[in-house]
Amino acid sequence: MGTSVISVKNLRHSYREGDGVKEVLHGINLEFGEGEIVIIMGPSGSGKSTLLKLIGAQLTLQSGDVVICGKSLKGASKSELMKMRREMGFIFQSHHLLDSITALQNVQLPMAFDPFATGESSKKRALEVLGTVGIASHAGKHPKHLSGGQRQRVAIARALVRKPKIVLADEPTASLDQHSGREVVEIIRKMAKDIGVTVVLVTHDNRILDIADRIISLVDGKLQE
């Protein structure tokens, strides 16, 4: 493993359940290296998505710490957390594309937060990334005119457009058939190796385990590597 890009330290997390509290993560310690693809597996309710959301600064830390590229999420202000989130790419099971705009415009969206990007430069960059995922010829189409696999490629392009060091993927192949799912993970594998992106991927999909450098099992909120 190269330089540690993500460091998870003694992470615990609980949710309210009825009148009580249920702890879903029990003191997790993990390191993720540069350009590494790590798959997190485990049954439903094992805490996989919670762990991913905590790493992605989408949930508030309760106990323990997550350090992203040397910066601690613990005690970070709202604006610092937002800044950190913008440095990561997110790929979800349902691709969260906006139907009212084209594939190209969907990929351009994250560039709106970049003070150095112009309309022209963000369009150029979005086209470049759509080319990387092999879908530049569909740039002008709206998502509803694309297949599931094509929509997921657009979502990957959107996750990559700001050149993040980290991409977090939650069940990225769940709604795809075997062929499309394989194409999508091959793109994910390529970006990790070519661009040095660290990929943390949560999945139930046994068909894609071969792309991982490491597979981590999460069972009842505890690690079994």
State yes or no: pLDDT of 36 exceeds 80.
Answer: yes
- The C-alpha atoms of residue 58 and residue 126 are separated, in whole angstroms, by 25
- The C-alpha atoms of residue 40 and residue 12 are separated, in whole angstroms, by 17
pLDDT at 225: 60
pTM, to two decimals: 0.87
pLDDT, mean of residues 30-45: 90
Least confident of 72-81, 89-98, 126-135: 89-98
pLDDT, mean of residues 180-199: 85
Task: For residue 133, give the DSSP letter.
Answer: T
More confident of the two residues 54 and 191: 54
Apex 212 CA angle, 211 and 214, nearest 5: 165
Q: 91 vs 23, 42, 44, 95, 126, CA distance in Å?
A: 26, 19, 19, 7, 16
Identify any residues that bridge with 9 across adjacent strands, giving them in sequence order: 65
Task: For residue 225, give the DSSP letter.
Answer: -
State yes or no: pLDDT of 95 exceeds 80.
Answer: no
What's the pLDDT band for 146 if we cut at 50, 70, 90? very high
State yes or no: pLDDT of 93 exceeds 80.
Answer: no
Q: Percentage of the chain surpassing pLDDT 90?
A: 36
pLDDT at 13: 92
Identify the burial level of 11 via C-beta atoms within 10 angstroms of its C-beta, where 0-12 means exposed, 13-18 middle and 19 or more buried.
buried
Identify the burial level of 208 via C-beta atoms within 10 angstroms of its C-beta, where 0-12 means exposed, 13-18 middle and 19 or more buried.
buried
State yes or no: pLDDT of 87 exceeds 70.
Answer: yes
